[in-house]
């Protein structure tokens, strides 16, 4: 089970931090932290695919539970750098 290093949830066997990468079914994903929704949120990024969890929804963004608006804005700016063809 992959997850952020500072997660409060038990069961994560492979901890991840900003800048790590993992391979899933032959596809390499880079890990970026996207604080705002929570303080331990990460996204899995590939040039063609991005798994953003609760940072982005089809109709907007996730609520701020632990983070600040400034942290969420910084996270949005990271995701804004994705290629236009990337599927979120």
pLDDT given for residue 31 in this prediction:
98
Token look-up 């929804």 returns: 57
pLDDT of residue 56: 86
Q: What is the pLDDT of residues 13-55, one digit of tens each?
A: 999 999 999 999 999 999 999 999 889 999 999 999 999 988 8
What domains sit in the chain, N to C, each tagged with a CATH number?
2-80 (3.60.15.10)
């Amino acid at each position: 089970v992959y997850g952020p290093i500072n997660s409060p949830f038990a069961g994560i066997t492979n901890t991840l931090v900003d800048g790590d990468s993992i391979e899933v079914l032959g596809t390499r994903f880079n890990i970026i932290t996207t604080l705002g929704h929570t303080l331990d949120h990460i996204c899995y990024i590939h040039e063609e695919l991005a798994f953003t969890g609760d940072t982005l929804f089809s109709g907007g963004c996730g609520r701020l539970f632990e983070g600040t608006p400034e942290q969420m804005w910084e996270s949005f700016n990271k995701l804004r750098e994705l290629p236009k063809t990337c599927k979120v």
